[in-house]
Amino acid sequence: MIKPVKIFREFLYPSGIKCIVCDAELEKDTRYGVCPNCKLPYNENYCTVCGRAIPAQNIICDTCKNTVLPFESARSSFVYGDASATLVHKLKYRNARYLAPVMSEFMADTYFSTEWNVDAVTCVPIHKSRMRQRGYNQAELLAREVATRIKKDYSELLEKTVKTKNMVKLNRVQRMELIRGSFGAKFGAEICGKKILLIDDVLTTGATASECARVLTANGAESVNVLTFASVAATAWLA
Ligand SMILES: [Zn+2]
Ligand SMILES: [Zn+2]
């Protein structure tokens, strides 16, 4: 016989709920859907400008000391790697769209830990040929979910006008060169005078976010802040 307690539990926490990282059955549901064995790498010591992980004693990473960025600041919930990389990969390449609402819970928490007060939420767009291929833009899924959670409007402000090759093997300068001029403001987008929150899944060198922010600023945005699910540790990118 099933005990009433069990029935009640079953009602609150339907069985079959799985850890979003390793797919292990969860004993109970949590807001974040992660089992005790999977530890997500929280981004605790980060550069106050680009938001990438740095040694605890530092405040600004070496790149930000020598560069003027077109966005005010960037933050990310996690350091990219292990479990956080698994989630990003599933969302981006394995059609795991169901992850976007859970991942955006962490991102909304990170947003609320900042002093930002934005007017509009947008995302890093992908080229329409890639959209056809993949069927969705993972950054858009995250942006829409984050916008709901922070109670702001989501709007499509940018478009990817030029298809660019994979940047995995390129350093920051090469990425900046490759990506420059490949984004444009969407026709009729209301950008002027707006404080914009730009969303992406991962921030690596910041080249993509910088180029998007440059276009938004050139079109009159008052400010651009960047929020990503994860970012690559600044120490991993000394170039
Ligand atoms: Zn797990
Ligand atoms: Zn930095």
pLDDT digits (tens, 9 = 90+) for 155-183: 999 999 999 988 888 888 899 999 999 99
What was the pLDDT predicted at 48? Answer: 95
What was the pLDDT predicted at 227? Answer: 98
Looking at all shown ligands, the one closest to residue 30's CA atom is: 1
The closest alpha carbon to 180, from 224, 159, 210, 158, belongs to 210
CA of 69 to the centre of ligand 1 (A): 37
Specify the range with the lowest mean pLDDT, choosing from 103-112, 137-146, 171-180.
171-180
How would residue 149 be classed by pLDDT, with cut points 50, 70 and 90? very high
Domain with CATH 3.40.50 in the chain: 40-236
Averaged confidence pLDDT in the chain: 90
Q: Would you report the helix, strand and coil content of the chain in percent, each value rounded to 5?
A: 35, 20, 50
Is residue 45 within 8 Å of residue 4, measured between CB atoms?
Answer: no
The closest alpha carbon to 167, from 138, 194, 195, 204, belongs to 204
SS3 category, 46: strand
What was the pLDDT predicted at 13? Answer: 47
The closest alpha carbon to 126, from 52, 77, 170, 179, belongs to 179
**Fold that domain 40-236 belongs to in CATH:** Rossmann fold (3.40.50)
Specify the range with the lowest mean pLDDT, choosing from 9-23, 24-38, 105-119, 199-213.
9-23
> In this structure, is the dihedral angle defined by the CA atoms of residues 145, 149, 150 and 151, taken in order, positive or negative?
positive
CA of 13 to the centre of ligand 1 (A): 17
CA of 195 to the centre of ligand 2 (A): 21
Prediction pTM value: 0.90
User: In the predicted model, what is the mean pLDDT of residues 178-192?
Assistant: 96
* 5-52 pLDDT, tens digit each: 555 544 554 445 888 888 888 877 666 888 888 889 999 999 999 999
CA of 25 to the centre of ligand 1 (A): 8
Looking at all shown ligands, the one closest to residue 172's CA atom is: 2
Looking at all shown ligands, the one closest to residue 23's CA atom is: 1
166-187 burial code (b ≥16 CB/10 A, e <16): ebeebebeebbebbeebbbbbe
